């Protein structure tokens, strides 16, 4: 089973690239973030024509997440539990299966949190607290679980080309990094790091200041695997090549293959 996550930064603006990637990579499951459209505006037919089942949790012009699967999507949950007043479309999860092997997969678009001195940073940390609680609950099911998406956190200095440039950013604050580490402390494994411990692996390059050309990137997109999923881990990687495409997203796909 190949699971891919990608912050597409507007599905309608990037539809041609998204379809080209799906045709080439053919993931069994595709987790999308920042689709930036309501559910009815998602190009469902285009992906259905390629054999995918689709579940979306959309929002007009902002946020929005989706799950696409070659197999059925079962027990779909829209929205991160823990705050009934949270209207931001940032979380969707479902059970997918391949040959009888069921996996619980979540597509996550974690809040950015900038600027640090505003109300957005406490909201980010509270959201991460809810994610920790739900991640713990998912572990209790003993199903293989994959938390995939744009976490808007730079976990370590080696996850940035120029870590000092991010010292005052919400993505690199000690509180953000500590909240991310709690997921690892629960037992979730960073799939890319498990396969590629060395520095120089990035998933995001800003559109400004020639960041892509300078490889001035950061790694903020992840697949976190529960122990049951990690036991099935074969390989994980980052498809950097999409960043050089015409009209690209500023993020690139991150994929994981399970036995």
Please write the tens of the pLDDT for every residue from 63-106: 999 999 999 999 999 999 999 999 999 999 999 997 778 999 99
121 phi/psi in degrees, rounded to 5: -70, -45
**Residue 161 clears pLDDT 80, i.e. is over it:** yes
Please indicate whether residue 109 is annotated as part of the active site: yes
pLDDT of 162 strictly over 90: yes
Q: Is 207 an annotated catalytic residue?
A: no
User: What does the pLDDT average to over 206-213?
Assistant: 96
pLDDT band with cut points at 50, 70 and 90 for residue 203: very high
> Which of 21, 28, 91, 150 is labelled catalytic?
150
What pLDDT does residue 20 have? 98
In order of start, what are the domains of the chain with their CATH numbers? 2-258 (3.60.10.10)
* Distance from C-alpha of 45 to C-alpha of 147, rounded to nearest angstrom: 26
Sequence-ordered list of residues with C-beta below 8 angstroms from that of 94, at least 6 positions apart, any chain: 55, 67, 69, 73, 74, 75, 76, 77, 104, 105
Per-residue pLDDT at 154 exceeds 90: yes
The structure tokens listed for 227 are 């122990």
Strands (E), the chain: 2-7, 29-33, 53-57, 65-69, 74-78, 91-98, 101-109, 145-150, 189-190, 221-225, 233-238, 254-258
77: which strand partners? 93
% pLDDT > 90, the chain: 98
The per-residue pLDDT for 214 is 98
Mean pLDDT across 101-116: 97
Residue 101 confidence (pLDDT): 85
When pLDDT is averaged across residues 113-137 and rounded to a whole number, the result is 98
In this structure, how many other beta carbons lie within 10 angstroms of the beta carbon of residue 37?
23
Mean pLDDT score across all residues of the chain:
97
Q: Minimal CA–CA distance to 49: which of 98, 4, 15, 96?
A: 15
User: What does the block give as tokens for 190?
Assistant: 């960073």
pLDDT digits (tens, 9 = 90+) for 8-50: 999 999 999 999 999 999 999 999 999 999 999 999 999 999 9
Q: Select which of 21, 52, 91, 109 is catalytic.
A: 109
- Position 128 scores a pLDDT of 98
């Amino acid at each position: 089973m190949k699971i891919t996550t990608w912050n597409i930064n507007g599905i309608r603006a990037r539809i041609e690239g998204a379809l080209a990637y799906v045709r080439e990579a053919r993931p069994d499951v595709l987790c999308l973030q920042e689709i930036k459209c309501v559910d009815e505006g998602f190009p469902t037919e285009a992906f259905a024509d390629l054999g995918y089942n689709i579940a979306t949790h959309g929002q007009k012009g902002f946020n929005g997440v989706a799950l696409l699967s070659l197999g059925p999507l079962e027990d779909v949950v829209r929205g991160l539990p823990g705050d009934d007043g949270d209207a931001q479309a940032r979380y969707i999860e479902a059970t997918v299966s391949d040959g009888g092997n069921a996996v619980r997969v979540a597509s996550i678009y974690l809040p950015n949190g900038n600027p640090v001195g505003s109300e957005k940073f406490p909201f980010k940390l509270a959201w991460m607290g809810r994610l920790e609680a739900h991640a713990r609950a998912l572990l209790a099911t003993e199903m293989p679980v994959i938390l995939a998406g744009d976490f808007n956190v730079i976990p370590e200095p080696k996850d940035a080309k120029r870590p000092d440039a991010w010292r005052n950013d919400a993505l690199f604050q000690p509180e953000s990094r500590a909240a991310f580490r709690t997921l690892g402390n629960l037992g979730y494994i960073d799939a890319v790091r498990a396969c590629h411990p060395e520095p120089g692996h990035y998933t995001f390059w800003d559109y400004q200041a020639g960041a892509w050309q300078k490889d001035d990137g950061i790694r903020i997109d992840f697949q976190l695997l529960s122990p049951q999923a990690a036991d099935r881990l074969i390989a994980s990687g980052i498809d950097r090549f999409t960043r050089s495409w015409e009209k690209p997203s500023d993020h690139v796909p991150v994929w994981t293959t399970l036995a």
